[in-house]
Structure 1
Amino acid sequence: MSRVLIRVLWLTLISGLSLQGCTPPKPVRLGAPIEGFSHTSAAINRFSVNGGGGPNLAPYGYGGGQMCCASLPVKWHPGLTVVVEWVKDPDPYASANWPPLGTDGYRAAYKLHAAKYTHHRAVVPVAQYEDLGIVYVHFLPCNQVAVSAGTTYPGRPDYPFHFPQKMQEPATCPQP
């Protein structure tokens, strides 16, 4: 072989090996969309999962669409938890008796009402999943929360939780 051909083959080999280092690594974490369910008579005015926002939830309601995003591992591992924070309105229908919208009376009533909102934070285990999918957050009585993040969804037999849509608050809640 000629020296030129050997050099071309050598450069091709070196170039090919160097390009292998350019292959992007598989992600360890991804941003997953968030949806929520309120299984109580309270409204969830806003919530987040690991800092990513979730939609507002009406009493006994399903969240109005997906919000972005909760950062989670692509593969589930034992001990996986997320931080869920939320603001709860315990009396979401109070505005039915307020003065007309846009008036000083309405603003005053809203200010008094909003002062009764409660703020919560919980570190919640994530149900086991094979592949990362939509993050579903269930708000339950006594400020309890359940979280799943797989490719199955509520209503399917393989979904990890089967909560009734409407759950009543007990007279007293267990102390944490």
Structure 2
Amino acid sequence: MKKIAVSCSLLILLMMAGCSQANSDDGYTAGELRAVNHVEGQGINGFSVNGYHVPGLGGGYCCIMLPEKWTPDFKVRVDWEVDPHTAPSPPSYKDWDNYLVWEKQLKSSFKQHNAIVNIPQYGKERCGLTVHFLPCNKVKVTTACSGYGTSGYPIKETINMKEPATCPVK
């Protein structure tokens, strides 16, 4: 019983330390991952930045490590899964066989995307990383501490943007 209590205590300590500021000797600090979906009618099921996974778009999620000093070649890889909302409405749970068919159809409609994105220049003040999902599977990121929609926020695209009929070829 004592081993279980010690193990649980260590696990909780490690989880709490995960989002604390990293040792400045390491040259990195931890910050939250956040996201804003700008595309009308498109659900983001989850995303990751350099392997740091966030299971949805809710509030801040712990954590991503950012270097203390920005460099011009600093880029991140963003992977995300989109629900285009093309699956039909689900059948009743009481009709389990049809529900399983529907669930398979739903999951097969999800689309996987990724992008390599430049991190804009930052100084001492940075507040994690916010990923903005835009039409045509474009992504912008910022480390700004001000909130989306405030005057000092660097990303100005509006919410509920419509996906165009055709997107430019990459």
Q: After superposition, what is the alpha-carbon deviation per residue over 1:47-72, rounded to whole angstroms, capped at 9, x for unaligned?
A: 0011112241xxxxxx2121121222
Classify the secondary structure of the residue corresponding to 2:159. coil
Moved over 6 A (4+): none
* 1:37 match: 36
Kindly indicate whether residue 151 of structure 2 is the aligned counterpart of residue 157 of structure 1. Answer: yes
Partner of 2:47 in structure 1?
A: 47
Q: Please, what TM-score do these two structures have when normalized by structure 2?
A: 0.77
1:74–1:132 contact (8 Å) kept in structure 2: no
- CA distance in structure 2 between the partners assigned to 1:79 and 1:157 by the alignment: 27
Q: Specify the code of the residue in structure 1 equivalent to 2:43.
A: A
Q: Identity percentage over the alignment?
A: 36
Q: In 2, are the aligned partners of 1:54 and 1:66 still within 8 Å (CA)? A: no
Unmatched 5+ stretches in structure 1: 1-23, 57-62
Deviations 1:9-59 (A, max 9, x none): xxxxxxxxxxxxxxx753411221101111112111110011112241xxx
Q: Which amino acid aligns with 1:118?
A: K
- Is the 2:144–2:154 contact (alpha carbons within 8 Å) kept by the matching residues of 1? no
Which residue does the alignment assign to 1:100?
92
Counterpart contact for 2:66–2:128, Cα < 8 Å: no
What is the Cα deviation at residue 149 of structure 1? 1.4
CA-atom RMSD, angstroms?
Answer: 1.8
Aligned to 1:139: 133
The normalised TM-score by structure 1 is 0.75
How far apart are the structure 2 equivalents of 1:154 and 1:79? Answer: 25
